[in-house]
Amino acid sequence: MPFEDILALAKTTITMSHPFWSVISLNSRYILDETYPTYGATDCHKTIILNPRLCGPLTKKKLLGLIIHEICHIVFMHEARRGSRDHELWNVACDFAVNPMIKEEFGYDLPDGGCYDPKYRGMSAEDIYSLLMQDHRERERVLSLYGKGGLIGRMDTHLPFPSGKEDEVRDTVAIAHAVWSSIPEGKHRGTLPAGVIEYVRKLLKPQVPWQRKLHRFAGQALAKNDYTWLSPNRRYLPYDIYMPTLRSLEAGRVVFCVDASGSISERQLEAFAPEMVRVANLVEECTVLVHDAVVQQVIKPKDIPAFLKNIHFKGRGGTDHRPVFRKIEEFGLSPDLFIGLTDGASSYPGKKPPYPVLWCLTKEHHKPPWGEYVYIDA
C-alpha cells in the first residue's frame, strides 16, 4: 500500500479516536520527504514532516505514536519555549516529557530512537532539561543514546518555530479543547491526559482575548462527530478496508456577516478580517455577506480564497440585518454557525434562526435580541 494511503488511515484513526488531537492534525501541513534523516520532524507550529522510506515499514502502533508525538510538540509549542537552551538536549527533554503519555495513556509504541523513561512521567520539558543539566553523567548517557549520531539514533527533529505564531497555535488548541469538551464522556471523546488538560487550561487562562472566545465558540458549534458507516469511504475499498465517511471535525458550514455601515470603523473591520481567515481555514465551507442597510457583497465558497487574500468591504450606509437573513434563506443556506460583526444598532428578524448565532460586538454597541456575544476590543 502506498505510504500516502497508510498515512491517511492513521489520520483517520486519530480523527475517530482522538478528537482533541485530530483538530491539531487536521490543521497541520504534512510533508513527505524520503531524504529526511529522521522518521519525522516538526516546527511545533503546523508543519509535520514524515520520511515515507523510514515510516512505511513501521507498525500501525508505531506510526500512530510518531504522529501523536509530533502533534504533542505542536500543542506544547516546544520549540517556541526553547529559548537559549541547547537544541540537542532540549529535543531530548521534550521527548522524555511526551513519550510516557504516548506509551502509557494512548497505548501506542515509538520508532527506534524514541526517548522513553518512566521516571520523567508527568514532568515538563523545562524540569527535565534542568535535571539533565545538573547531572553530567545522565546528560552524557541520554545524548549518547538519543542525541544526533547516538547509539539508538534520533527519532525526530525540531525545526525553527515561525516568529510570532504563538497565538495561532493557542487558537487551534482552544478550538481542539472546545471540540473535546463538547463531546459527552464515553462517546468518541478519546483520551486527554490530566497533564494536557492542566496545560491547556493554563495556556488559555490569561485574560482571554475575544479572538480566542470566538474560536472556542466556533469549535463547540461545529463539533458534530457525525461519522457515517452508511456510505463507506471508497478510497479504501480496493484494499478490503471498510471505513466510514468522515463528516466531522474538518466539516462545517459557516456564514460570516460583516456590518460595513458607517458606524463600524476601519480598525474594527481590520481586526475581524484575520479571524475570518482563521475560522475559514478550519471549516469545509463558508460564505461571506457584507451589508449595511442592504446586502452589498456575497462572497461564495469558491471565491473565498481570493477574497481572503485581498479583503475589501463595501458599504458605509445605515444598518439592517433583515436583508442578511433573507439572503441566507434565498440561497437555501443551512449554516452550522453564523458569525456576525456589528455594533448591534440595527433591525433584526423577529424570530431567531434555527442555527447557532455568534455576534462579535464593538465596544460601543447595542445587544441584538438573540444569539451569543463576544466583544471586540479594537
Q: Which three cell numbers stand for residue 249?
A: 471535525
Counted residue by residue, the chain has a size of: 378
253-375 CATH fold: Rossmann fold (3.40.50)
**Dist. CA 285–CA 252, nearest whole Å:** 6
**CA–CA separation, 193 vs 255, rounded Å?**
34
| Whole-structure pTM value | 0.63
Q: Where exactly are the structural domains of the chain? A: 3-163, 253-375
pLDDT of residue 202: 80
Mean pLDDT by 10 residues, the chain (378 residues): 93 89 92 94 96 95 96 95 91 93 91 89 92 92 80 81 88 84 72 84 68 73 54 49 47 84 83 80 83 90 78 82 94 89 91 90 87 80
Q: Decide if 110 contacts 65 (C-beta within 8 A).
A: yes
Q: What CA–CA distance (Å, rounded) separates 211 from 187?
A: 29
Degrees, nearest 5: CA angle 248-253-254: 130
HEC assignment per residue over the chain: CCHHHHHHHHHHHHHHHCHHHHHHHHCCEEEECCCCCCCEEECCCCEEEECHHHHCCCCHHHHHHHHHHHHHHHHCCCHHHCCCCCHHHHHHHHHHHHHHHHHHCCCCCCCCCCCCCHHHCCCCHHHHHHHHHHCHHHHHHHHHHHCCCCCCCCCEEECCCCCCCHHHHHHHHHHHHHHHHHCCCCCCCCCCCHHHHHHHHHHHCCCCCHHHHHHHHHHHHHCCCCCECCCCCHHHHHHCCCCCECCCCCCCEEEEEEECCCCCCHHHHHHHHHHHHHHHCCCCEEEEEEECCCEEEEECHHHHHHHHHCCCCCCCCCCCCHHHHHHHHHCCCCCCEEEEEECCCCCCCCCCCCCCEEEEECCCCCCCCCCEEEECCC
Task: Report d(CA 288, CA 273) in Å as an integer.
Answer: 11
Q: Map grid coordinates 514524515 to a residue.
A: 50
Separation in Å, CA 68 to CA 95, 304, 373: 12, 31, 34
pLDDT at 303: 84
Q: For residue range 263-296, what is the model confidence (pLDDT) as tens digits?
A: 888 888 888 888 887 777 777 788 999 999 999 9
Q: Which residue has the cell 494536557?
A: 196
pLDDT of residue 151: 59
d(CA 83, CA 77): 12
Cβ 179 vs Cβ 20: under 8 Å? yes
Within its chain, how far is the Cα of 76 from the centroid?
13
d(CA 174, CA 213): 8
- Nearest alpha carbon to residue 358 among 344, 341, 346: 341
Q: What is the CB neighbour count within 10 angstroms for residue 371? A: 17
